[in-house]
Each structure stands twice: as C-alpha cells, then as structure tokens.
A and B are shown apart, each in its own frame.
Chain A
C-alpha cells in the first residue's frame, strides 16, 4: 500500500479500444504527452486495456515502478471502472487509487471527424485525471447488512412471477398492487399468442399462488407513498387505500369472529350507484361496491368512495354476521423495510383518439385492441360475442390497423418505437374472428409483420392459410358512412401500388403503448432513470437488462420497454434472481464516498445538519473529555456523498471522500492552467 506522504508516482494507460478510440485520437501522442506530466512515472498504451494482458500491464507497472496511483484513459467508468479498480487492487494498491479518463464516449465518439481536436481534448482529459490521481487517498468501503425482504411494485404477470420466484427462494416479499386485484393487463386478455391458451386459465393459478404463498404479503388497492434509504435498507411507505370492506382477518381483529368479506356479492346487488368498469375498458357497468370479475384475487369487494353515496344498503345486505363493510374507513399508511425492490408497473395504451384521422371516439365502430380482447372474451361484457358497438350486429369484415401510433414519427400522441406485441395479437384477433364467426374476413393493414418469437412466424403462416387478408400499407384515413355506420378504410397497397378504399363493419386499432401516466413521479420516488421514450432505464441494454443505475432496484416487464408475456416473465425471473443476490449475500459494500467531519475544524454550528437531504448528519457532544461544545457526526450508510454539506461548511470542516476540495481544485487548475502550477 502506498503511504500518504509519499511523492506521487502515477502510471497512465491509454486504451485504443480497437479503432473505437484510436480511430479518432492519436493514442501514441496522448501517451507521449502523459509521460511529460508532473508526477507521471510511466505512460503506456494498449489495444484493449480491459483485456487480461491490459490489466496485467497495470499490475506489473504498479510493482515495477512503485506507483501510488493509476490512470486509465479509455471508456466510460460506468463500463470498466470496476474492472480497473480490481486490477489496481491486485497490483497491490488501494482500489480507490484509480482514476479514469473517459476518452471514448466523451471524446472519440463525439469528435469522430476531428482527429486533432479530439487528440488535444484527450490530452486535457488525461492531464485532469492525473491531477486528481496525484491526490487520491486510500479508502475503505463500508459494508452494510441487507434486509432479508423484497418489495415488488405491480402485480401483473411480471410482478406476480418475480414475487413467486423470490418467495420460493425463501425471501419474504411485499407485493403491492394499485388495482383491487392482481392480474394486470394479462388478466384482461382473452387468449395468448401463438399457442392460443386462454389467458386467464394460465394466469389464475399464478394469481392464486401469489395470494396464498406463505412468503408473499399481498397488498392490493395499495400504492407506494414514499421511499427512503438505499440498497439493503429501503424504507418504503405504502398507502393502503380505504377499501371500505374488511378481510376475514381484519374482521377478526375487530372482534367479529367468522365475519369479513366472503365475496358473496349481496352488497353489489343492492348498491344503487352505477359506474363504468375500467377492467372492461368502460364497456360494462359496475357498482360503487364491486369486484372487477369472477376470478379476482383476493376475492374481496372494494368500495369506490369517489362515487359511493353512503346509503348504507350494502351494510344491510352484508348482514350482522359478516359485518364486512365499513363506510368510514380511511387510507392507512405502513412502512416496510426491504433490501431490494423490483418495479413491474406495466403500461397504458396511448390516447389513440389523438390520431384524429382514424376516428377513435368519433366513430362507434372503431375500437382498440384491448377493447377487442374484452369483446371476444367469454368472461367479457358480451360473453364472448364480438359485436359492433353501433348496433350490436356481428361484424363480417373487420379491418385491423397495425402500428397504430407505433413506429410513427409524426409527433403528438404517436411513438417512434415498436410496441412489439401488436403484430402478434392482431394475428391472433384475425384468427379468433375467423374461428368464431364463420365467413368473417379480417383485413390487416400492416407495415411489416414482426413475428419474432418462438412459434410466431409459424402462427403468421397459419393465419394467412386460414384466409386473413394482408394489405401492406399504412392507413391514411378512416371515414364513417353516416347511415350504416360502416367504415371506409383508406390506404395505399404498397405491394400493388394502388389506393385502397375498404368498406368494413369494424376497425380495430392496434394502439401503441406508453408508460403509465404516473410512471415518471414513481420513478423519481425510487431515484431511477428513464430513457428518452419514457420507459424505465435499465443499467445496460444488453448486459444488465434487469438492473437500474440505482443499486438495489430492478425492473421487470413492460415498464422497462414494450414486451410480450414470455419476455415479461423471463425478465421478471431475471429481476428476481438479481434482486435475491444482495439478500443472499447478506451484506453489500457501499462506495466510501461519504462526508467526513474534521473534528478539530468543526465549530459545531449545525448548519450542515439542516442542509443534508438524506438526514445523514447529526450534532453530538464532543468526545474529547472537555465536555465543551458540539461536533457534527456522519451516519455513513445514509450519506450519499452529494457534497451539499461539504460545499457549504463555513469552516471547511467537512471532507468529501474521493471528491475532496483539493482534488477538485487540482483538476480545475490542471484544466485551466494547462499544466502550469
């Protein structure tokens, strides 16, 4: 280990990254320049510094030149800082005696056609990194215990699968769902492609499992209120919305033995308030006291207090034995402590009425794919009989508009990305109408059919053989015949090169999907990032698709980007596995970037304690035996190293480890003075 008072001896290693860096930067010139910088003992270059030989160079140089610090000029520290820290450590130095200059993402890739400027900038970057490396200190990471419990947000198929995996691995899980029942979007679907299993039939066993799993604490009609803490030690406050109905357990706790809701539905029959049922996409009614459908989990009624008139008829109907209804119930809050969190919050359809040319919400017989699911589903509002909303007639010619708002750069409600499951469900819909309505013909207007999954292409051929018509062209306009309420679908058939005017009975828009309306506020609560399109951002698109850039928080399902059921389940299992690792390890190392109080400088003024956004600072009595005055103390596990206190402290008594004032000033000087001292 290097000693702190030793003269700095820095090794600089410049990476070619094949031609990623060397293609735009004169690597040798950067290396030669580094060799001239004060404190640099050895400078070297290599094709791939992250490779085993590259790392060996670092280790060898530390031994050969008795280095005190290492600088690698290569890619983003997000990618390889851990790699080089390990190499530095294996060479015999403290791993925090390593500094990285990002000359790839922040240089070579943005200045691809200006070699001289890129090379000059790389020299600046290396000089700045060396300035910091000269002042780096040994740091020891703190490890903190990890709470053996996990939180899963959202109980669609993704959240259900993740919870079941975690629970079966012996980890206590709190599963939170906003709706009164688990199941999510998948429970709204009729059949699943390409196997045509009934969606509910394959989902309900899992819904039941999640409800009765001994390790899973299912909290429906509950939302996340606030999140505090960090990996291993999250404190999550949940808002249990007032449901107005007691479970048998809650009833027993109130001394009503054998009472509580048994799902009999007597209350629903007498309730005089009628609202539209959101589970049925508004195509069926529900009462103010309701369940969405027969297979809800838990089987427990819910009162919609926004529409309940508190007439009390339901209390009468429920009777004195069960006494399950409490019209005075209010929201309650509870805090759960968990080690890791999985977000599985799903999606909504875009407001496709914003594509005015297709007439959704203007013309009765233009519906969305999700509405089609409910209309074709045996447990749906029409008991599985597909009908036209305008007159209840059976549609014989149905047009399907694929990429309705997906892969569409026209702005407004449209999305540039592919929503990934619409091709396949539209093929499934085509199959279903041909199966259920003899003689019915589906017309699919498409750009490309993206049948990418296992068995999908085969399903595409099957639907073609069954007689579905495919028209390659985007729909420009849909018009309604005011008398018949039939629809004219206009497009260009780009294979035949001629315009199409198809009169049909019904149009199904395969509407694009988008993150939930409150996805952004939830994201900020959990402190994770989003990608440009609004979906939650994974830690790495290829190599870490379940993680986020916030340690301890993982993603499952469509909240991270459009995906179908198989992909959602796969990602959920991946997220469960990833979320279980810190829990099984029992502890995690925290980066030692916390604030440190220099007690001899601290005046005990306490200004910093109020500034800290994380409540990590306290004023305590001095322990020097004098009993004189106070001193600030840092709770390291709470400190996130933001630097607010360090920047503010009037006495300069707070040191931000790894980002000390000396280090930062040194970097600024190195940049502005161009190496002059």
Chain B
C-alpha cells in the first residue's frame, strides 16, 4: 500500500464531489491509500493568486505542503491547477534559498516551517508509473470495460508545462494518457490541437468569460470533427470549463454539443463498477446519460 496525503483542492469537493469520491475509491483498488490532509486550504489558484502577489502564492502553498510534511507523506492530488501550485512551489522552495527564507518568514507567524522533505504527485502520474501502479494494474482493476466508446483525452496545461520544469518528457503530443484510457476498454481518439488549453486556466475564465469560452468552443469543434462519446481529463477546473462551459456556449454562441465530460477517476470508477449515483454524475452540467447508456 502506497500512502499519500490527499490534497483535495476546491473545485472537486465543491462542484464535482464525484471527482473526490472516485479518487479515493478507485485508488484504493490500486493499492494507493489517500489519507485526508487536514487543515488544507486552497492551493492557492496559480492564475488568480500568482498573478497578483507571488509571495502570497508561495506562502499559502508552502503551508499546505507543511501539513503533509508533518504527516511525513508525499502529496497526491487530482487537479492540474493544484499541481502547478503545490508541485511548483515545493520544487522552487527546495532549490531556492531566498524564496524558502521568504516563505518561512511568513510561516513563522503561525509556527510552521517549510523543510522540503516531501514530493508532490498528480494521482494520474501515480496511476501511470509502473513502480507505483502502472497501466497493467489499472487494466486489471477494470470489471466493467467501457468497450465501444470513443473518448477524447484532454491533458490540460499545468501538469506538462513549462516542460523544462516538469518531468513528463514530450509536452507537444504525449500519448500516455491515451494508454490509460485504452486500459479501461475505451478507444482514445486523436483530434486537432489536442494540447490546446481548455480556456479556463491562468485566470482567463475569471477575467474574460467570452474569450475563455471561445477557446473551449474551438476545442469542442475539433472534437466534434472526429466524433467522441465523452471527453476525459484529470483536472476539475478543465472539467468545469468543458462541462458548465457547454451550457454557457449554448447560451452565448447558440451552439450545443452535449458532450459528456468526465474526470479520469470518474471513468475509472465506472469501469471498476461504481454506480453513476456513487459518482454524483447527476451534478454534471451536461447530461451523462447518453454515455452511460452505451456502457451500462
């Protein structure tokens, strides 16, 4: 059993409880134990906070890391935005004395100190890593394969970029997420501009919704071009943008896609036999039923 401090983030527990539930339940079947990280705050959001005051971003993220350091566990998380904040701040503070001293000055006020004793992982990379889990183990955990479905992968930006500060290799046209989708019995499809942003990140959604939706719309056009039964990602914020965004696009641009959007953990949950209710799929903006009918 590999144990991690589970950093929840904000969007999963508040908007998509199925993301949270499926993360805990699917990983348990893969010998990964996600322990509650008590007292955690917002990561904080890299675009919204980082763009305004980096010191706040460093200090708040460092505080979350300190909680896991106290547990003596690496952090696992399920959101690309959280990954950028927690992973990147952890790496920066580990390797830059000035930044670490600055953050610790703030943390000292609440009797905490960043030590740099743990690592930060996205749950999806733990699933893919054969040392921890690996594609085969994921495949073997599947009891209800998603046979006959065509699923569009969305990697999101913050996990892979900037590529030089990450460890995922090719960020221009990676294929490893496709392997994980294929392990569920589904067919991962390729579409134009796969690596484009969902439109939400970097504060764009908050700053200019129309611009953000325009990007999302382009992605949806490209996916519609090749045809897909669902889109999957591993970031609740991307999920929000694609899912709720489709309702907003319908309203603003008058275009409907009805493309169900599921976090990979939700897909894996279905493939492992979790019920749609257990995954709170009824809370999604776009109706997941057409997809569920295909697989159930």
The answer to whether B170 and A356 have CB atoms under 8 Å apart is: yes
Provide the bound-state CA to CA distance between A477 and B173, in Å: 10
Known: A477-B193, A480-B192, A482-B192. A356 touches B172 (CB 8 A): yes
Known: A356-B173, A362-B173. A483 touches B193 (CB 8 A): no
Number of interface residues of A (CB under 8 A): 12
B251 within 8 A of A: no
Provide the bound-state CA to CA distance between A480 and B191, in Å: 9
A479 within 8 A of B: yes
Chain B, Cβ-Cβ closest to A359: B173
**Cβ contacts under 8 Å, B173 to chain A:** 356-357, 359, 362
B226 within 8 A of A: yes
The answer to whether A482 and B170 have CB atoms under 8 Å apart is: no
**Cβ contacts under 8 Å, B225 to chain A:** 481-483
The digit string for B215-242, where 1 denotes a CB below 8 A from any CB of A, is 0000000000110000000000000000
The digit string for A477-492, where 1 denotes a CB below 8 A from any CB of B, is 1011111000010000
The answer to whether B192 and A481 have CB atoms under 8 Å apart is: yes
**Cβ contacts under 8 Å, A420 to chain B:** none
Choose one: A355, A356, A357, A479; the contact of B192 (CB below 8 Å): A479
**Cβ contacts under 8 Å, A483 to chain B:** 225
Q: Which residues from 352 to 368 on chain A have a C-beta closer than 8 Å to any C-beta of chain B?
A: 355-357, 359, 362
**Cβ contacts under 8 Å, A362 to chain B:** 173
Number of interface residues of B (CB under 8 A): 8
**Cβ contacts under 8 Å, A488 to chain B:** 192
**Cβ contacts under 8 Å, B191 to chain A:** 482
Q: How far is the CB of B188 from chain A (nearest CB, A)?
A: 15
A-B contacts at CB below 8 angstroms, number: 21
Known: A482-B225, A482-B226, A483-B225. A357 touches B172 (CB 8 A): yes
Q: How far is the CB of B26 from chain A (nearest CB, A)?
A: 30
**Cβ contacts under 8 Å, A357 to chain B:** 172-173
Chain B, Cβ-Cβ closest to A483: B225
Provide the bound-state CA to CA distance between A482 and B173, in Å: 16
Which of B170, B172, B226 has the largest count of A CB atoms less than 10 A from its CB? B172
**Cβ contacts under 8 Å, A355 to chain B:** 172
Q: How far is the CB of B170 from chain A (nearest CB, A)?
A: 5
Q: How far is the CB of B12 from chain A (nearest CB, A)?
A: 30
Provide the bound-state CA to CA distance between A204 and B170, in Å: 44
Provide the bound-state CA to CA distance between A482 and B194, in Å: 13
Chain A, Cβ-Cβ closest to B192: A479
The digit string for A361-394, where 1 denotes a CB below 8 A from any CB of B, is 0100000000000000000000000000000000
Chain A, Cβ-Cβ closest to B173: A356
Which of A355, A356, A359, A480 has the largest count of B CB atoms less than 10 A from its CB? A356
Q: How far is the CB of A411 from chain B (nearest CB, A)?
A: 9
The digit string for A451-478, where 1 denotes a CB below 8 A from any CB of B, is 0000000000000000000000000010
**Cβ contacts under 8 Å, B193 to chain A:** 477, 479
Q: Which residues from 133 to 176 on chain B have a C-beta closer than 8 Å to any C-beta of chain A?
A: 170, 172-173
Provide the bound-state CA to CA distance between A481 and B170, in Å: 22
Provide the bound-state CA to CA distance between A292 and B231, in Å: 49
Provide the bound-state CA to CA distance between A481 and B226, in Å: 10
Provide the bound-state CA to CA distance between A357 and B173, in Å: 6
Provide the bound-state CA to CA distance between A308 and B126, in Å: 47
Q: How far is the CB of B219 from chain A (nearest CB, A)?
A: 12
**Cβ contacts under 8 Å, B170 to chain A:** 356
Provide the bound-state CA to CA distance between A481 and B191, in Å: 9
Chain A, Cβ-Cβ closest to B174: A356
**Cβ contacts under 8 Å, B172 to chain A:** 355-357, 477
**Cβ contacts under 8 Å, A477 to chain B:** 172, 193
Q: How far is the CB of B85 from chain A (nearest CB, A)?
A: 26
Which B residues have a C-beta under 8 Å from some C-beta of A?
170, 172-173, 191-193, 225-226
6 residue pairs, one from A and one from B, having the closest CB atoms: A356-B173, A357-B172, A356-B172, A479-B192, A479-B193, A356-B170
Which A residues have a C-beta under 8 Å from some C-beta of B?
355-357, 359, 362, 477, 479-483, 488
21 residue pairs of the A-B complex, CB under 8 angstroms, read A355-B172, A356-B170, A356-B172, A356-B173, A357-B172, A357-B173, A359-B173, A362-B173, A477-B172, A477-B193, A479-B192, A479-B193, A480-B192, A481-B192, A481-B225, A482-B191, A482-B192, A482-B225, A482-B226, A483-B225, A488-B192
Q: A362-B173, A477-B172 are in contact. List 5 more A-B contacts (CB 8 A).
A: A356-B173, A357-B172, A479-B193, A482-B192, A488-B192
